[in-house]
Amino acid sequence: MSARLPDFPWDRLTAYAATAHAHPDGICDLSVGTPVDPTPAVVQDALRSAADSPGYPTTIGLEDTRRAAIDWLARRHGVSGLGLDGVLPVTGSKELIADLALHLGIGPGDLVGYPALAYPTYEVGAALAGAESLATDSLTAFGPRVPSLLWLNSPANPSGRVLPLDHLRKVVDWCRERGTVLVSDECYIECAWEGDKPLSILDPQVNGGSLDDVLAVHSLSKRSNLAGYRCAFVAGDPALVGELLAVRKNLGLQMPGPQQHAMIAALDDDAHVAEQHATYAPRRALLKEALQVAGFRIDHSEASLYLWATRGEDCWRTVADLAEQGILVAPGEFYGPSGREHVRVAFTATDERVAAAVARLAG
Protein backbone atom coordinates (compact mmCIF):
# COMPACT_ATOMS: atom_id res chain seq x y z
CA MET A 1 0.00 0.00 0.00
CA SER A 2 2.64 2.56 1.01
CA ALA A 3 4.65 1.95 -2.18
CA ARG A 4 2.11 3.78 -4.30
CA LEU A 5 1.98 6.86 -2.06
CA PRO A 6 4.29 9.85 -2.53
CA ASP A 7 6.90 10.41 0.16
CA PHE A 8 5.71 12.51 3.10
CA PRO A 9 7.31 15.85 2.17
CA TRP A 10 7.78 17.29 5.65
CA ASP A 11 10.32 14.57 6.48
CA ARG A 12 12.74 16.39 4.16
CA LEU A 13 12.66 19.49 6.36
CA THR A 14 14.05 17.79 9.49
CA ALA A 15 17.70 18.81 9.02
CA TYR A 16 16.74 22.43 8.33
CA ALA A 17 14.54 22.46 11.44
CA ALA A 18 17.53 21.29 13.49
CA THR A 19 19.62 24.16 12.10
CA ALA A 20 16.91 26.69 12.93
CA HIS A 21 16.48 25.26 16.45
CA ALA A 22 20.20 25.81 17.05
CA HIS A 23 19.86 29.60 16.74
CA PRO A 24 20.84 31.26 20.05
CA ASP A 25 17.39 32.85 20.34
CA GLY A 26 15.55 29.72 19.25
CA ILE A 27 13.56 28.83 16.18
CA CYS A 28 10.98 31.02 14.46
CA ASP A 29 8.87 28.27 12.96
CA LEU A 30 6.93 29.71 10.04
CA SER A 31 6.73 26.44 8.15
CA VAL A 32 3.43 24.90 9.25
CA GLY A 33 0.30 27.02 9.45
CA THR A 34 -0.86 25.67 12.78
CA PRO A 35 -2.82 28.07 15.02
CA VAL A 36 -1.07 29.14 18.22
CA ASP A 37 -3.66 31.50 19.68
CA PRO A 38 -6.27 30.25 22.18
CA THR A 39 -9.33 28.33 21.10
CA PRO A 40 -12.28 30.75 21.56
CA ALA A 41 -13.86 30.60 25.02
CA VAL A 42 -17.33 30.09 23.54
CA VAL A 43 -16.09 26.92 21.87
CA GLN A 44 -14.26 25.61 24.95
CA ASP A 45 -17.41 26.18 27.02
CA ALA A 46 -19.52 24.25 24.52
CA LEU A 47 -17.08 21.33 24.56
CA ARG A 48 -17.09 21.17 28.34
CA SER A 49 -20.89 21.32 28.49
CA ALA A 50 -21.13 18.36 26.11
CA ALA A 51 -18.43 16.27 27.81
CA ASP A 52 -20.94 13.70 29.09
CA SER A 53 -21.34 11.74 25.85
CA PRO A 54 -21.68 8.00 26.59
CA GLY A 55 -23.41 6.89 23.38
CA TYR A 56 -22.12 6.42 19.87
CA PRO A 57 -22.53 9.40 17.53
CA THR A 58 -24.16 8.86 14.15
CA THR A 59 -22.18 9.24 10.95
CA ILE A 60 -24.62 11.78 9.55
CA GLY A 61 -24.11 13.96 12.61
CA LEU A 62 -26.51 15.93 14.77
CA GLU A 63 -29.23 17.87 13.01
CA ASP A 64 -28.10 20.96 14.94
CA THR A 65 -24.56 20.55 13.62
CA ARG A 66 -25.73 20.38 10.04
CA ARG A 67 -28.14 23.27 10.58
CA ALA A 68 -25.30 25.40 12.00
CA ALA A 69 -23.25 24.71 8.86
CA ILE A 70 -26.17 25.63 6.60
CA ASP A 71 -26.86 28.83 8.52
CA TRP A 72 -23.18 29.83 8.47
CA LEU A 73 -22.86 29.26 4.73
CA ALA A 74 -25.98 31.32 4.12
CA ARG A 75 -25.01 34.14 6.50
CA ARG A 76 -21.36 34.47 5.58
CA HIS A 77 -21.15 33.17 2.02
CA GLY A 78 -24.51 33.69 0.33
CA VAL A 79 -25.27 29.98 -0.08
CA SER A 80 -28.91 29.05 -0.67
CA GLY A 81 -30.81 25.87 -1.45
CA LEU A 82 -28.75 23.68 0.87
CA GLY A 83 -30.71 21.17 2.96
CA LEU A 84 -29.86 18.92 5.88
CA ASP A 85 -29.20 16.03 3.47
CA GLY A 86 -26.49 18.10 1.80
CA VAL A 87 -24.17 18.44 4.81
CA LEU A 88 -21.92 15.87 6.46
CA PRO A 89 -19.65 16.64 9.44
CA VAL A 90 -16.24 14.95 9.31
CA THR A 91 -13.26 14.53 11.60
CA GLY A 92 -10.84 16.95 9.99
CA SER A 93 -10.81 17.99 6.35
CA LYS A 94 -7.51 16.24 5.56
CA GLU A 95 -8.99 12.80 6.23
CA LEU A 96 -11.94 13.59 3.99
CA ILE A 97 -9.75 14.94 1.19
CA ALA A 98 -7.51 11.87 1.30
CA ASP A 99 -10.46 9.46 1.27
CA LEU A 100 -12.96 11.24 -0.95
CA ALA A 101 -11.99 9.72 -4.31
CA LEU A 102 -11.98 6.24 -2.81
CA HIS A 103 -15.32 6.77 -1.08
CA LEU A 104 -16.91 7.99 -4.33
CA GLY A 105 -15.89 4.79 -6.09
CA ILE A 106 -13.11 6.34 -8.15
CA GLY A 107 -10.32 3.88 -8.89
CA PRO A 108 -7.99 2.36 -11.50
CA GLY A 109 -8.57 3.80 -14.95
CA ASP A 110 -10.04 7.01 -13.56
CA LEU A 111 -8.38 10.40 -13.58
CA VAL A 112 -8.28 12.97 -10.75
CA GLY A 113 -7.28 16.57 -11.45
CA TYR A 114 -5.98 19.09 -8.96
CA PRO A 115 -4.19 22.48 -9.07
CA ALA A 116 -0.63 22.79 -10.36
CA LEU A 117 0.35 24.26 -7.00
CA ALA A 118 -1.40 22.09 -4.48
CA TYR A 119 -1.72 20.73 -0.99
CA PRO A 120 -0.17 17.23 -1.38
CA THR A 121 -3.23 15.38 -0.04
CA TYR A 122 -5.10 15.67 -3.36
CA GLU A 123 -2.42 13.54 -4.99
CA VAL A 124 -2.40 11.18 -2.00
CA GLY A 125 -6.16 10.70 -2.33
CA ALA A 126 -5.87 9.75 -5.99
CA ALA A 127 -3.04 7.34 -5.21
CA LEU A 128 -5.00 5.67 -2.40
CA ALA A 129 -7.86 5.07 -4.82
CA GLY A 130 -5.49 3.68 -7.45
CA ALA A 131 -6.47 6.43 -9.88
CA GLU A 132 -4.24 8.49 -12.14
CA SER A 133 -3.78 12.16 -11.31
CA LEU A 134 -2.89 15.33 -13.18
CA ALA A 135 -1.72 18.58 -11.59
CA THR A 136 -2.76 21.47 -13.82
CA ASP A 137 -4.53 24.82 -13.84
CA SER A 138 -5.56 24.43 -17.48
CA LEU A 139 -8.73 22.58 -18.43
CA THR A 140 -7.32 22.04 -21.92
CA ALA A 141 -4.47 20.00 -20.40
CA PHE A 142 -6.89 17.09 -19.98
CA GLY A 143 -7.23 16.80 -23.75
CA PRO A 144 -9.85 14.19 -24.66
CA ARG A 145 -9.68 12.57 -21.23
CA VAL A 146 -12.46 13.34 -18.78
CA PRO A 147 -11.49 13.47 -15.10
CA SER A 148 -13.82 11.68 -12.72
CA LEU A 149 -12.97 14.21 -10.02
CA LEU A 150 -11.56 17.73 -10.18
CA TRP A 151 -10.30 19.62 -7.14
CA LEU A 152 -10.28 23.37 -6.75
CA ASN A 153 -8.63 25.20 -3.85
CA SER A 154 -9.56 28.85 -3.40
CA PRO A 155 -8.16 30.57 -1.43
CA ALA A 156 -5.21 28.40 -2.30
CA ASN A 157 -2.59 26.68 -0.20
CA PRO A 158 0.29 27.55 -0.60
CA SER A 159 -0.07 30.64 -2.79
CA GLY A 160 -3.07 32.40 -1.24
CA ARG A 161 -4.52 32.88 -4.72
CA VAL A 162 -8.25 33.59 -4.97
CA LEU A 163 -10.10 32.40 -8.07
CA PRO A 164 -12.46 35.00 -9.60
CA LEU A 165 -16.15 34.47 -10.29
CA ASP A 166 -15.77 34.07 -14.06
CA HIS A 167 -13.18 31.32 -13.66
CA LEU A 168 -15.25 29.45 -11.09
CA ARG A 169 -18.32 29.58 -13.35
CA LYS A 170 -16.26 28.29 -16.29
CA VAL A 171 -14.99 25.32 -14.28
CA VAL A 172 -18.48 24.46 -12.99
CA ASP A 173 -19.87 24.48 -16.54
CA TRP A 174 -16.92 22.46 -17.90
CA CYS A 175 -17.33 19.78 -15.23
CA ARG A 176 -21.10 19.51 -15.66
CA GLU A 177 -20.79 19.13 -19.43
CA ARG A 178 -18.50 16.13 -18.84
CA GLY A 179 -20.03 14.54 -15.75
CA THR A 180 -17.00 15.38 -13.62
CA VAL A 181 -17.47 15.73 -9.87
CA LEU A 182 -16.15 19.14 -8.80
CA VAL A 183 -14.93 19.56 -5.22
CA SER A 184 -13.72 22.88 -3.85
CA ASP A 185 -11.45 22.94 -0.80
CA GLU A 186 -12.42 26.20 0.91
CA CYS A 187 -10.78 25.96 4.34
CA TYR A 188 -9.21 29.45 4.04
CA ILE A 189 -12.36 31.20 2.82
CA GLU A 190 -12.51 33.49 5.85
CA CYS A 191 -8.79 34.30 5.78
CA ALA A 192 -8.88 37.05 3.13
CA TRP A 193 -6.69 40.17 3.15
CA GLU A 194 -6.67 41.90 -0.22
CA GLY A 195 -8.82 42.03 -3.35
CA ASP A 196 -12.23 40.52 -3.88
CA LYS A 197 -13.94 38.37 -1.27
CA PRO A 198 -13.39 34.65 -1.93
CA LEU A 199 -16.46 32.88 -3.27
CA SER A 200 -17.74 29.42 -2.40
CA ILE A 201 -18.49 26.97 -5.16
CA LEU A 202 -21.88 26.67 -3.42
CA ASP A 203 -22.70 30.33 -4.06
CA PRO A 204 -25.56 30.56 -6.59
CA GLN A 205 -23.56 33.24 -8.45
CA VAL A 206 -21.05 30.49 -9.19
CA ASN A 207 -23.21 27.41 -9.73
CA GLY A 208 -26.31 28.99 -11.29
CA GLY A 209 -28.49 28.06 -8.35
CA SER A 210 -27.91 24.30 -8.65
CA LEU A 211 -25.78 22.16 -6.34
CA ASP A 212 -25.66 19.27 -8.80
CA ASP A 213 -22.22 17.64 -9.08
CA VAL A 214 -20.48 20.10 -6.73
CA LEU A 215 -19.15 19.77 -3.19
CA ALA A 216 -17.32 22.18 -0.88
CA VAL A 217 -15.03 21.18 1.97
CA HIS A 218 -14.84 23.48 4.98
CA SER A 219 -12.62 23.36 8.06
CA LEU A 220 -12.80 25.21 11.36
CA SER A 221 -9.09 24.69 12.08
CA LYS A 222 -7.99 28.01 10.57
CA ARG A 223 -10.97 30.32 11.14
CA SER A 224 -11.59 29.26 14.76
CA ASN A 225 -8.25 27.89 16.07
CA LEU A 226 -9.78 24.42 16.19
CA ALA A 227 -7.01 22.39 14.58
CA GLY A 228 -6.82 20.21 17.69
CA TYR A 229 -10.57 19.54 17.63
CA ARG A 230 -10.62 18.16 14.05
CA CYS A 231 -13.89 19.84 13.09
CA ALA A 232 -14.84 20.04 9.41
CA PHE A 233 -17.70 19.31 7.05
CA VAL A 234 -18.50 18.67 3.40
CA ALA A 235 -21.57 20.21 1.78
CA GLY A 236 -23.27 20.38 -1.60
CA ASP A 237 -25.02 17.93 -3.90
CA PRO A 238 -27.21 15.69 -1.68
CA ALA A 239 -26.66 12.72 -4.00
CA LEU A 240 -22.89 12.95 -3.58
CA VAL A 241 -23.18 13.54 0.15
CA GLY A 242 -25.42 10.45 0.30
CA GLU A 243 -22.74 8.37 -1.44
CA LEU A 244 -20.14 9.50 1.06
CA LEU A 245 -22.51 8.84 3.96
CA ALA A 246 -23.23 5.28 2.83
CA VAL A 247 -19.54 4.39 2.71
CA ARG A 248 -18.64 6.21 5.91
CA LYS A 249 -21.43 4.42 7.83
CA ASN A 250 -19.84 1.09 6.97
CA LEU A 251 -16.42 2.35 8.07
CA GLY A 252 -17.70 3.80 11.35
CA LEU A 253 -16.40 7.29 10.51
CA GLN A 254 -18.16 9.56 12.97
CA MET A 255 -17.44 12.96 14.46
CA PRO A 256 -17.48 12.72 18.30
CA GLY A 257 -20.52 14.33 19.93
CA PRO A 258 -18.65 16.86 22.09
CA GLN A 259 -16.77 18.15 19.05
CA GLN A 260 -20.05 18.58 17.20
CA HIS A 261 -21.33 20.85 19.97
CA ALA A 262 -18.08 22.80 19.83
CA MET A 263 -18.51 23.10 16.06
CA ILE A 264 -22.03 24.48 16.47
CA ALA A 265 -20.76 27.14 18.87
CA ALA A 266 -17.93 28.09 16.51
CA LEU A 267 -20.14 28.36 13.44
CA ASP A 268 -22.77 30.38 15.30
CA ASP A 269 -20.26 32.97 16.54
CA ASP A 270 -18.70 35.49 14.14
CA ALA A 271 -17.07 37.71 16.78
CA HIS A 272 -14.11 35.42 17.47
CA VAL A 273 -13.40 35.16 13.72
CA ALA A 274 -13.15 38.94 13.41
CA GLU A 275 -10.93 39.05 16.51
CA GLN A 276 -8.57 36.41 15.15
CA HIS A 277 -8.43 38.12 11.77
CA ALA A 278 -7.42 41.33 13.52
CA THR A 279 -4.72 39.40 15.40
CA TYR A 280 -3.24 37.96 12.21
CA ALA A 281 -3.31 41.22 10.24
CA PRO A 282 -0.29 42.93 11.89
CA ARG A 283 1.72 39.69 11.86
CA ARG A 284 1.11 39.40 8.14
CA ALA A 285 1.93 43.05 7.50
CA LEU A 286 5.17 42.93 9.47
CA LEU A 287 6.41 39.76 7.80
CA LYS A 288 5.41 40.92 4.32
CA GLU A 289 7.32 44.19 4.67
CA ALA A 290 10.36 42.48 6.22
CA LEU A 291 10.51 39.91 3.43
CA GLN A 292 10.23 42.58 0.75
CA VAL A 293 12.97 44.68 2.36
CA ALA A 294 15.11 41.53 2.50
CA GLY A 295 14.80 41.13 -1.29
CA PHE A 296 11.81 38.84 -1.63
CA ARG A 297 8.89 39.27 -4.00
CA ILE A 298 5.47 38.30 -2.64
CA ASP A 299 3.21 36.66 -5.22
CA HIS A 300 -0.56 36.27 -4.84
CA SER A 301 -1.06 35.87 -1.04
CA GLU A 302 -4.29 37.83 -1.10
CA ALA A 303 -5.84 35.25 1.22
CA SER A 304 -4.92 32.21 3.40
CA LEU A 305 -2.46 32.27 6.32
CA TYR A 306 0.74 32.37 4.24
CA LEU A 307 2.99 34.61 2.20
CA TRP A 308 4.18 33.06 -1.08
CA ALA A 309 7.68 34.49 -1.36
CA THR A 310 10.55 34.24 -3.84
CA ARG A 311 13.89 35.79 -4.56
CA GLY A 312 14.36 33.95 -7.84
CA GLU A 313 16.45 31.03 -6.61
CA ASP A 314 15.98 27.35 -5.81
CA CYS A 315 13.63 27.05 -2.86
CA TRP A 316 15.99 24.77 -0.93
CA ARG A 317 18.70 27.41 -1.02
CA THR A 318 16.21 29.89 0.46
CA VAL A 319 15.17 27.37 3.09
CA ALA A 320 18.81 26.75 4.04
CA ASP A 321 19.68 30.45 4.24
CA LEU A 322 16.67 31.25 6.40
CA ALA A 323 17.35 28.24 8.63
CA GLU A 324 20.78 29.69 9.37
CA GLN A 325 18.92 32.75 10.68
CA GLY A 326 16.73 30.52 12.83
CA ILE A 327 13.70 30.89 10.54
CA LEU A 328 12.03 27.75 9.24
CA VAL A 329 9.81 28.01 6.15
CA ALA A 330 8.24 25.50 3.77
CA PRO A 331 9.91 24.92 0.38
CA GLY A 332 7.59 25.58 -2.53
CA GLU A 333 8.61 22.31 -4.15
CA PHE A 334 6.42 20.53 -1.59
CA TYR A 335 3.43 21.84 -3.55
CA GLY A 336 4.53 20.99 -7.08
CA PRO A 337 7.31 21.70 -9.59
CA SER A 338 6.03 25.21 -10.32
CA GLY A 339 6.81 26.14 -6.71
CA ARG A 340 10.55 25.42 -6.98
CA GLU A 341 11.58 29.08 -6.64
CA HIS A 342 9.18 29.98 -3.83
CA VAL A 343 8.86 29.40 -0.12
CA ARG A 344 5.68 29.43 1.94
CA VAL A 345 5.89 31.63 5.02
CA ALA A 346 3.17 31.18 7.64
CA PHE A 347 2.17 34.11 9.84
CA THR A 348 0.50 31.93 12.47
CA ALA A 349 3.39 32.21 14.95
CA THR A 350 3.08 34.29 18.12
CA ASP A 351 3.64 38.06 18.07
CA GLU A 352 6.98 37.51 19.82
CA ARG A 353 8.22 34.95 17.27
CA VAL A 354 7.03 37.05 14.34
CA ALA A 355 8.90 40.05 15.77
CA ALA A 356 12.01 37.90 16.18
CA ALA A 357 11.78 36.74 12.56
CA VAL A 358 11.34 40.33 11.36
CA ALA A 359 14.42 41.41 13.31
CA ARG A 360 16.50 38.58 11.84
CA LEU A 361 15.39 39.35 8.31
CA ALA A 362 16.51 42.94 8.84
CA GLY A 363 19.76 41.63 10.31
Is 53's pLDDT higher than 50?
Answer: yes
CATH fold for the domain made of 53-269:
Aspartate Aminotransferase; domain 2 (3.40.640)
Q: pLDDT band for position 4 (50/70/90)?
A: confident
Q: Could you read off the pLDDT of 159-212 as tens digits, one per residue?
A: 999 999 999 999 999 999 999 999 999 999 999 999 999 999 999 999 999 999
- Region 7-29: mean pLDDT is 92
pLDDT the model gives residue 10: 78
CB atoms within 10 A of CB 57: 17
Alpha-helical (H) ranges within the chain are 14-21, 41-49, 63-77, 93-103, 121-129, 165-178, 204-207, 238-251, 257-268, 271-293, 315-324, 351-362
Q: Which of 112, 187, 121, 120 is nearest to 150 (CA)?
A: 112
Cβ atoms of 152 and 189 closer than 8 Å: no
Return the CATH number of the domain spanning residue range 2-39+272-362. Answer: 3.90.1150.10
Q: Could you read off the pLDDT of 299-354 as tens digits, one per residue?
A: 999 999 999 999 999 999 999 999 999 999 999 999 999 999 999 999 999 999 99
**C-alpha torsion 242→247→248→250, nearest 10:** 130
pLDDT the model gives residue 273: 97
d(CA 219, CA 120): 17
pLDDT the model gives residue 1: 41
pLDDT the model gives residue 268: 98
Q: Give the residue extent of every domain in the chain.
A: 2-39+272-362, 53-269
Cβ atoms of 256 and 53 closer than 8 Å: yes
Is 2's pLDDT higher than 60?
Answer: no
Specify the pTM. 0.95
The Cα-based distances of 150 to 90, 100, 142 in angstroms read 20, 11, 11
Is 255's pLDDT higher than 80?
Answer: yes
pLDDT the model gives residue 160: 97
